Homo-oligomer: A and B are copies of this chain.
Amino acid sequence: MTRNEAQGTSSIAYANPVLIMGSGNIVGQMENEGPLSGSFDRVSDDKNDMFGEDSWEKAESAMQKQAVALTLQKTCARANDIRYLFSGDLLGQNIASSFGIKEYNIPIFGLYGACSTCGESLILGSMSVAAGYADRVIALTSSHFASAQKEFRFPLEYGNQRPLYASWTVTGSAAFLLQGADAGASPAGGGRIKNALESEYGGKVGITGVTVGKIEDFGIRDSFNMGCAMAPAAAWTISTHLKDFKRTPEDYDAIFTGDLGNVGQQALFNLLEQENIDISANHYDCGMMIYDAQKQDVHAGGSGCGCSAVVLSAHILKQLAKKQWKRVLFIPTGALLNKTSFNEGQNVPGIAHAVVMEAL
């Protein structure tokens, strides 16, 4: 393949992999008490995860700012080496992003894909780099347990009970620096900027293809049951992806959904079974990986934009760079609702975007 090519219904294959040069992440205390404990770059030193700020929204902005700072530091890049920033979060009007990254002075595309935003930002970022529109971009997202509860559900002070199929919003943010395969030769910072994944873990990692999701609405109206609301979208994206690239689940060492949790995972398996697709042998869900559901009492698992983002940054990319896996499919999943749509009795549709990452 000598040029980028549109594939099938909704996918794009890149002629040259878009390099993930490095990634920084930051999480709350509870995230560092789960199975990935010790893998994160920075952990809140405050049990309320305020990150030195006086409101939850500002705390989330502070996380985004630090995730970018860590990414620049690891790759020896400066803010002005980054041509565009693709960012989004769960708060109304993307305020965590707007106030988190304004001081970097990087031209920005604001995105909203609910908890699928990490996928959307990696897709649009890699599309821009692969097309030669930018040598380097950063994809960025975040979520914060307390700001998300305030935004979508009940004030924390109520101490509401949560159903067993509910998930727990991850407090975390991660940034990813993407660079074109031939950007190393460019004058702007090319010599100084280093591939942090390669230098730290031994191998390069690249994005080789993407599949853009569409909205699927199976009529779920319970805003706590996000796993089942998002599973149809994940099923559509996985099924479309495999057709578009003419691949089978066995072509991937691992397939990661974003935050379906244990209830949504079963729904996904059932939906894919109807199309004779079986991913159960190598499927993982970031929401089930980040917490110990039993010990940490999170019920169905983790969720939020930050969930898949920090699992990718702290775990998946490292395993790829270490060549533990050769090729993975990463599919953040989002539930499209807000307080008003829920209160007005609307359904909770879902969306999921897929990104192929390979050890190079």
Give the distance in Å from the alpha carbon of A126 to the alpha carbon of B249 in the complex: 33
Minimum CB–CB distance from A184 to chain B (whole Å) comes to 16
Closest to A134 in B: B6
Residue A84 at the chain B interface, CB threshold 8 Å: yes
Residue A212 at the chain B interface, CB threshold 8 Å: yes
A346 neighbours in B (Cβ, 8 Å): 95, 99
Mark each residue of chain A from 98 to 123: 1 if its CB lies under 8 Å from any CB of chain B, else 0: 11011001111111111000001001
Tell me whether A127 and B120 are in contact in the complex, defined as CB-CB below 8 angstroms, given that A337-B93, A338-B91 are known contacts.
no
Residue A181 at the chain B interface, CB threshold 8 Å: no
Contact, CB under 8 Å: A336 / B93: yes
The A79-105 residues at the B interface (CB cut-off 8 A) are 83-84, 88, 90-95, 98-99, 101-102, 105
20 A-B contact pairs sorted by A residue (CB < 8 Å):
A5-B132, A10-B83, A57-B341, A58-B344, A91-B338, A92-B151, A93-B114, A94-B112, A94-B336, A95-B341, A95-B346, A99-B336, A101-B215, A102-B215, A106-B214, A108-B214, A110-B111, A110-B114, A127-B128, A130-B131
Contact, CB under 8 Å: B133 / A127: yes
Contact, CB under 8 Å: A95 / B132: no
Tell me whether A336 and B95 are in contact in the complex, defined as CB-CB below 8 angstroms, given that A4-B132, A112-B110, A351-B108 are known contacts.
yes
Q: A106-B214, A110-B113 are in contact. List 7 more A-B contacts (CB 8 A).
A: A10-B107, A88-B112, A93-B341, A98-B341, A102-B217, A107-B213, A109-B212
Residue A360 at the chain B interface, CB threshold 8 Å: no
- Which 6 A-B residue pairings sit nearest by Cβ, starting from the closest? A92-B92, A131-B131, A93-B338, A102-B215, A107-B212, A98-B336
Give the distance in Å from the alpha carbon of A83 to the alpha carbon of B10 in the complex: 7
Tell me whether A111 and B108 are in contact in the complex, defined as CB-CB below 8 angstroms, given that A95-B338, A215-B102 are known contacts.
no
Minimum CB–CB distance from A284 to chain B (whole Å) comes to 24
Residue A340 at the chain B interface, CB threshold 8 Å: yes
Closest to A147 in B: B340
Contact, CB under 8 Å: A55 / B95: no
Closest to A5 in B: B132
Residue A339 at the chain B interface, CB threshold 8 Å: yes
Closest to A116 in B: B110
The A138-185 residues at the B interface (CB cut-off 8 A) are 151
Give the distance in Å from the alpha carbon of A134 to the alpha carbon of B106 in the complex: 27
Closest to A54 in B: B344
